Structure 1
Amino acid sequence: MLSYRHGFHAGNHADVLKHFVLIELLNYLGQKDTAYTYVDTHSGAGLYSLDTGYAMKNAEYETGIGPLWERDDVPAALQEYLNLVKGMNPSGKMRYYPGSPYCANEVMRSQDRLRLFELHPSEIKILSENFRKLEAHKAEQGERQTVRGKRIMINAGDGFEGLKAILPPPSRRGLVLIDPPYEVKDDYRRVKVCLEDALVRFPTGTYAVWYPVLSRIESKQLPERLKRIPANGWLNVTLSISGPTPDGFGLHSSGMFIINPPWTLEATLREVMPYLVRVLGKDVSAKFEIESGETETVRMKGPVRAPVRPLADRSNRADQRPGRPAVEGSARPQVGSLRTKAGVAPSRNTGAGANRDVGPGKRVARPANLSKARSR
């Protein structure tokens, strides 16, 4: 099935979460001089118009980038993401929204490499044309590539399969974003299979998976299955702007699951996620969750389970030092929810790691109405 077009959903709350986390991951990789490779298995068109075409049908950007556009109290970590989007709208009017490839290209350095995959025949043409125009514009401004080899490669094909030929990257440093449309149930299975294969080829890479939080069983099981994949560690963050609708349609929640995350990401999320709940939340069910854990890096034997450790105990643990073997176990999740006049909505986590007092939320006048849940 190739009916999905991300233009309908560009700039929604799921895009805000995904692209904010993506920029944080890329910035961390950019702290070292050594080049790295970014791989996007489902790139989409790369750039989307918000005031024409698909985006105007449901105006889903009003659940995401819209409420953030004029804010003057944005946390510093989130401000870079917002500045990037505004940089593509020099007039000050919210007209264009960048997809993952454009976000990556803006953050990455001249020595870093982008490898983009897209299977949809219409989207791949638009993606190629968008980057052709971008390169032509840079050439007109006198910007020339200073390193050997092609910096951006766009591939028309299945990103799940194409990833096998790319890993490991030459520099042995890289980030892979896996962001399928989840149009069919098999996408959930393929995500797990793809990650298991990729970690054998490139065990030190960072992998980020976007996924919808839906009532269907495959969606609920995905993060639990990813936690059992042998790796050095994982982090899972979800954002819900409202409770599910009675008919079950529409995307109200989404998550980012990161394998081999940078050690700085968890603290950054704790700072930013309460703000996103307060600004994007639409009702008392708005909340976020942060979980993190480690799995034993054993290939021939199954992972060994360890007792659950509270999130608060992780900051000074000696086994976070490089070279120390880790064991599987999920830390107690941090949960934040939207405060109302009547008090804070009940949270599933009432332990020491809970964080529910995030301030009043801002209601969005126009609700999301996704017919197909997915954000690229």
Structure 2
Amino acid sequence: MFSYRHAFHAGNHADVLKHALLVHTLDYLNRKDNPYWVIDTHAGAGLYALDGEWANKNAEFADGIGRLWDRKDLPPLLADYVAQVRSYNSNGHLRYYPGSPWLTLDALRDRDRLRLFEMHPTESEVLVGNLEKLDRTALRQTTIFATDGFEGMKSLLPPPPRRGLVLIDPSYEDKRDYRSTVNAVKEGIKRFATGTYAVWYPLVQRREATEMVRHLENLQVKNWLHVSLTVKRPVAEGFGLHGSGMFIVNPPWTLHAALKDAMPVLTRLLAQDDRASYTLQHRTD
């Protein structure tokens, strides 16, 4: 259950897609003065050293953020994301990668709040240690729960300001995560129908992954957006990650146009073979 460590995959192609969308969504939330909460159900360690033992094992960041790092011609959605990652690295050298908690803290204003769940005992301990190195504002805004994010998020909904984003991105190492993700979104909508729910999922050769997407697309909601990125052909043995997707309920109205601009570029830059492609769908009321 606890074998997964996000540091192995920090900054890979899946993180690029997930975090580019996160940065855009947080910027959209900041366009109104009203405060909001962000709830991250599977927070990880928060910040990753790409030259460390874990991240350097497979160096997946080289085929992710590494391919965008020196580009000067990126569309806005990607350029904004890369700029955020650059703020953690000096002299133009890519050494550190901020996970979703750190990218979120960068965006939060004084009255906004961050609630983090991380059940992995080692990851949770590292997350606490990393947070303690930040300033008082970050400490005041953030609460960490070393418990199950699927269950824990329900007790926080609706958030007091009635504005918020819920990020759901388990490892899916346990096949039950697919069903738990769908149930979490359904329960969240019951409690907080106007919230934004961002679900990340891996493109793997598993029936559960296909079924989860179908269930999400059949949700009784007015607005959703679904984007996926395939970077290579699936391997014959059926193992490994050949892409990932994001499904967002109540997305920013600006996101679809931003992705139409960004996804052809992202697909070209992150392609690992001639099977690279993307899909982009949305439903609006």
CA contact (8 A) 2:222 2:283 kept: no
CA distance in 1, matches of 2:92, 2:274: 32
Aligned residue number for residue 56 of structure 1: 56
Q: Deviations over 1:324-356 (max 9, x none)?
A: xx4xxxxxxxxxxxxxxxxxxxxxxxxxxxxxx
Aligned residue number for residue 186 of structure 2: 196
Give the CA deviation at 1:33.
0.2
Aligned residue number for residue 164 of structure 2: 174
Q: Deviations over 1:23-78 (max 9, x none)?
A: 11111111000000000000000011111111111110011001111111111221
Aligned residue number for residue 97 of structure 1: 97
CA distance in 2, matches of 1:72, 1:262: 26
* Runs (5+) with no aligned partner, structure 2: none
Aligned residue number for residue 128 of structure 2: 128
CA distance in 1, matches of 2:102, 2:229: 23
1:35 equivalent to 2:35? Answer yes
By relative contact order (CA 8 Å, sep 6+), the higher-ranking structure is 2
CA distance in 1, matches of 2:129, 2:270: 33
Identity of aligned residues (%): 51
Correspondences of 1:327-346 after superposition (within 5 Å): none
Give the CA deviation at 1:184.
1.2
* Runs (5+) with no aligned partner, structure 1: 295-325, 327-376
Aligned residue number for residue 108 of structure 1: 108
**Match of 1:29, as an amino acid?**
L
Aligned residue number for residue 278 of structure 1: 268
Q: Deviations over 1:142-186 (max 9, x none)?
A: xx58xxx94111111000111111000111000000011101111
CA distance in 1, matches of 2:199, 2:223: 14
In proportion to residue count, which structure has more helix? 2
**Match of 2:279, as an amino acid?**
E
Question: Highest Rg: 1 or 2?
Answer: 1
SS in structure 2 at match of 1:134: coil
CA distance in 1, matches of 2:75, 2:282: 22
CA contact (8 A) 2:205 2:239 kept: no
Aligned residue number for residue 241 of structure 1: 231
Give the CA deviation at 1:91.
3.0
1:183 equivalent to 2:197? Answer no
CA distance in 2, matches of 1:167, 1:16: 28
CA distance in 2, matches of 1:18, 1:77: 12
CA distance in 1, matches of 2:17, 2:109: 23
CA distance in 1, matches of 2:207, 2:93: 40
Instruction: State the number of aligned residues.
Output: 285
CA distance in 2, matches of 1:234, 1:35: 23
CA distance in 2, matches of 1:60, 1:95: 13
CA distance in 1, matches of 2:26, 2:175: 30
SS in structure 2 at match of 1:176: strand
SS in structure 1 at match of 2:204: coil
CA contact (8 A) 2:76 2:258 kept: no
**Match of 2:150, as an amino acid?**
F
Which has the higher mean CA deviation after the structures are superposed, 246-255 or 207-216? 246-255
CA distance in 2, matches of 1:174, 1:286: 33
Aligned residue number for residue 293 of structure 1: 283
1:8 equivalent to 2:22? Answer no
**Match of 1:74, as an amino acid?**
L
1:226 equivalent to 2:238? Answer no
**Match of 1:11, as an amino acid?**
G
- TM, length-normalised to structure 2: 0.97
CA distance in 1, matches of 2:160, 2:274: 48
CA distance in 2, matches of 1:287, 1:110: 40
CA distance in 1, matches of 2:151, 2:67: 38
Aligned residue number for residue 72 of structure 1: 72
Q: Deviations over 1:120-142 (max 9, x none)?
A: 0000111011111012xxx5xxx
